[in-house]
Structure 1
Amino acid sequence: MNEDNNITNGDSINIKSENNESKFTKKNIIFASIIVLVAIIGGIFILKWYLYSLNHVYTEDAEVDGHIYAISSMVPGNIQSIYVHKNEYLKKGKLIAVINQSAYLPEMLQAKANYDLAKEKLFNAGGSIGNFAGNAFNNYYLDKFNLKKTASSLSAAKLTYKLDKRNYSRGLKLLSKEFITKEQFDTLKTSYLVARQNYFVALNSYKAAKRSYVNAQYAKSIITAQKYTTVKPLEAAIKVAKSAYKSAKANYLNTFIKSPVNGVVSEKMSYLGEYITPGTPIIMINNLKKVWITANVKETLVANIKKGDPAVITVDSFPGRIFKGIVKFVGSVTTSKFALIPTNNPSGTYTKVTHRLPVRIKIINDKNHILKPGMMVEVSIKTTK
């Protein structure tokens, strides 16, 4: 009986051992199969990513960029009124705020009065000088013309006088030799005397015309002198007054602060009643219609990126939504050059690092302008190689 029991117990132990070995083998096969399957899937993923990376550049170091305008005053003073609110959309030219005008308006009005007075003084001086100048210049040109006319008459009378004088002298000789009659000689003598008289009359007329012309020249020179002693200083005073008026008017107009662009008020920096100086921001404006992507790409990957390459953009704020863009340009300077702490190490030690270059990407399918400056994005650029 004992032997039979021992045999039975031994057989049961062997059966259990075989079952355990069978279960262990199945577990190993399943585990090994899972490992192989994971390795295959991982290999496929790695191969796919490798093939993808051959003609794509991917980076998570990217964000939405845009111009943010700091709107400030050009003149100092207390803020009298503010007409905008945060997140309000503004059109170009909309009135944002007004600086207290208690000093600027009277200054402009006084400058305008000074400018008008300077113009009036010049007008009055110019009127009196103008009347005198009109007569003087009129006499000058008349006397000049008369001088030329009398000079021409004198030349003709002088020529006639010389000819008649020569004929008279020859007549005396001919009369003494009785080659001409007394009547013929008297005719020559009469012509000579008339020509001499005409010559002296013309000479006196010329001298009188010359004296008148000299006097007219003097009067003209007085006008020129008055122009420099009276008119020129008044003209200079007008220029000074006009410049002061323009400056005062510009200061007054600068108390009205208007939006230079279309955009949204992203932040209010100053408030009603606050005293501000030129350059102190009142509000910040950003234009959502003019945003782009700045992707910082490793310098080892930018060689294949060209202008016009397509890009796919994903944003955490809008999961499942794909934005498209095109490369506008690759930056000419790495981002480290604009860092507050320079990367140059003067101690002598050196560690080579990979810098990044900014790549600007234009967004082409954000018609509703939902992308805001500062949003972090992921970018994949399809390259030609």
Structure 2
Amino acid sequence: MSRYLRPTATMIAIAVGIAGLVLVLYAWRLPPFHSNIESTENAYVKGYVTLISPQLSGYIVEVPVQDYDHVSKGQLLARIDDRIFAQKLDQARATLASEQAALANSTQQQLAAEARIGSSQAQLDSATAGLKRAQANWARIEPLARQGIMTKSDAEQSQMTLEQAQSSVTQAQAAIEVSRQDLETIKVGRGSLEAAVAGAQAAVHLAQIDLANTRIVAPREGTLGEVGVKLGQYVSAGTQLMSIVPPDVWIIANFKETQLNNISLGQPVSFTVDALNRQQLTGHVERFSPAAGSEFSILRPDNATGNFTKVAQRISVRIAVDPDQELAKQLSPGMSVVVQTQANGA
């Protein structure tokens, strides 16, 4: 009886050994089980998770949303007490009005200076005409005075009139020059006033921006996470209030570097999601990471020290989810995924 049991036990042991070898070859994708289809469980759903923070400091006076609400772009999420910022805007507008009034006054001063130049020019013309008359009169009287035909007092009066006319012309020319210098001074001062008006306008715009920023709104459509801000809470610039998750999602699959030879851009893939009862969805390879994951880690390994053990590195592959899949609407960032590539055209 024992003679028959020994060969049977030997056969069973051999069968178990062969089965174990077959399983190892299958698990490691070694011949004859080598395949161009690659798969990985190191994959997750990814998405844009936007942290919402204020740009200003103040007390929260309104929080009209709750955890996990669906919000649309521009919808109010929270509001900061805006009384101080409204007063700052009024103050900036008052400063702008003052600077604009100063600029308008400068414009009026320029017009007055130009009018004074015109008046001085008229006085110069009048003085020039008087000088010509005095010169003509002196030209007639001087020969008569030398001949003694005319009295000395009349000649001196005529000469004095000529000198006064010359002085009037000089005075009128000086008045024109003074008016012109006044005009240039006004023009130079006008530049600084225009700069002051531009600065006041910028201050008004900044005050308007600050006032608008008291309303914290959704930057795009999505679903809120937990709302951490509370009514009456004092917040400062950069305080995390809540987060919003838009509907856009994709898959990041971390394949071993030895698997990349069978993966190409645009290649179709299928994947199952643990949270969706492992129902299958489809997508396609969109992009490859420019480096292995170890290169992006804070503490990168230094393979030049100590004993070296070769470890296959992981390369992240971004997979786009194909549209028009009803289950895709239920995908949320962080879900675990099992990804399997397909042959092109499959």
**TM class by smaller structure:** 0.7 to 0.9
Distance 2:53 2:228 in 1: 10
Measure the CA separation in 1 of the matches of 2:27 and 2:223: 46
1:303 aligns with 2:261: yes
Map of 2:194 onto structure 1? 235
SS class of match (2:241): strand
May I ask how many residue pairs the two structures share in their alignment? 294
- Name the SS for the 1:357 alignment partner: strand
Q: Secondary structure at the match of 1:251?
A: helix
Considering only aligned residues, what root-mean-square deviation do their CA atoms show, in Å?
Answer: 3.8
What corresponds to 1:292 in structure 2?
Answer: 250
Question: What is the DSSP-based 3-state SS (H/G/I as helix, E as strand, rest coil) of the residue aligned with 2:182?
Answer: helix
Cα distance change on mapping 1:346 and 1:216 into 2, 3 Å: same
User: Whose helix fraction is larger, Structure 1's or Structure 2's?
Assistant: 1
SS of the residue corresponding to residue 239 of structure 1 reads helix
Task: Classify the secondary structure of the residue corresponding to 1:353.
Answer: coil
Normalised TM-score (structure 2):
0.72
Q: Deviations over 1:238-271 (max 9, x none)?
A: 1232222222222111111111111100221222
Shift of residue 120 of structure 1? 1.6
Moved more, 271-280 or 306-315: 271-280
Q: Give 1:142-181 correspondences, 5 Å limit.
A: none
Structure 1 Cα separation of the partners of residues 322 and 297 of structure 2: 30
Q: Is the contact made by 1:137 and 1:220 (CA closer than 8 Å) also made in structure 2? A: no
Question: 1:263 — aligned with what?
Answer: 222
* Maintained 8 Å contact 1:75/1:254: yes
Change (3 A) 1:139 1:309: farther
Alignment of 1:116 onto 2:97: yes
Per-residue displacement from partner, 1:266-297 (whole Å, max 9, x unpaired)? 22122221111111111100112x10000001
1:117 Cα deviation after fit: 1.5
What CA distance in whole angstroms lies between the structure 1 residues aligned with 2:299 and 2:77? 38
Match of 1:222 among 182, 185, 207: 182
Match of 2:40 in 1: 59
> C-alpha separation between the residues in 1 aligned to 2:303 and 2:33?
37
Q: Using a 3 Å threshold, how does the CA distance of structure 1 residues 79 and 238 change in structure 2: closer, same or farther?
A: same
**1:300-331 residue CA offsets vs partner (Å, 9 max, x unmatched):** 22233221011111111223521100101110
- Cα offset for 1:348? 3.2
Corresponding residue SS for 1:273? coil
> Which residue identity does 1:58 align to in structure 2?
S
In 1: Cα distance, 2:186 partner to 2:27 partner = 96
When the two structures are superposed, what TM-score results if normalisation uses the length of structure 1? 0.65
Deviation string for 1:186-232 (max 9, x for gaps)? xxxxxxxxxxxxxxxxxxxxxxx9x9999767644432221113x22
Q: Give the whole-Å Cα distance in 2 for the aligned partners of 1:354 and 1:47.
A: 16
User: Which residue pairs with 2:132 in the alignment?
Assistant: none
1:356/1:320 CA distance change after superposition, 3 Å: closer
Q: Does 1:376 align with 2:336?
A: yes
Shift of 1:85: 1.2
Unaligned runs of 5+ in 1: 1-19, 147-208
Q: Deviations over 1:2-56 (max 9, x none)?
A: xxxxxxxxxxxxxxxxxx799x77x959x96x959x959x67x949966775211
CA distance, structure 2, for counterparts of residue 245 and residue 95 of structure 1: 24
Q: Which runs of 5+ in 2 are unaligned?
A: 126-168
Taking the TM superposition and a 5 Å limit, the aligned residue runs for 1:29-68 are 35=15, 39=19, 46=26, 53-68=34-49
> Alignment partner for residue 295 of structure 2, among 315, 329, 337?
337
Q: What is the aligned counterpart of 1:78 among 52, 56, 59?
A: 59
* 1:249 aligns to 2:208 (yes or no): yes
The percentage of counterpart residues that share the same residue type is: 27
Alignment-mate amino acid for residue 209 of structure 2: A
Do the aligned partners of 1:267 and 1:285 also contact (CA within 8 Å) in 2?
no
Q: Please point out which of 51, 54, 68 is paired with 1:87.
A: 68
2:267 maps to a residue whose letter is D
Q: Which has the larger radius of gyration?
A: 1
Is the contact made by 2:285 and 2:318 (CA closer than 8 Å) also made in structure 1?
Answer: yes
CA-CA distance at 1:82 after TM superposition: 0.8
1:347, CA displacement in angstroms?
4.5
Distance in 1, matches of 2:180 and 2:64, equals: 63
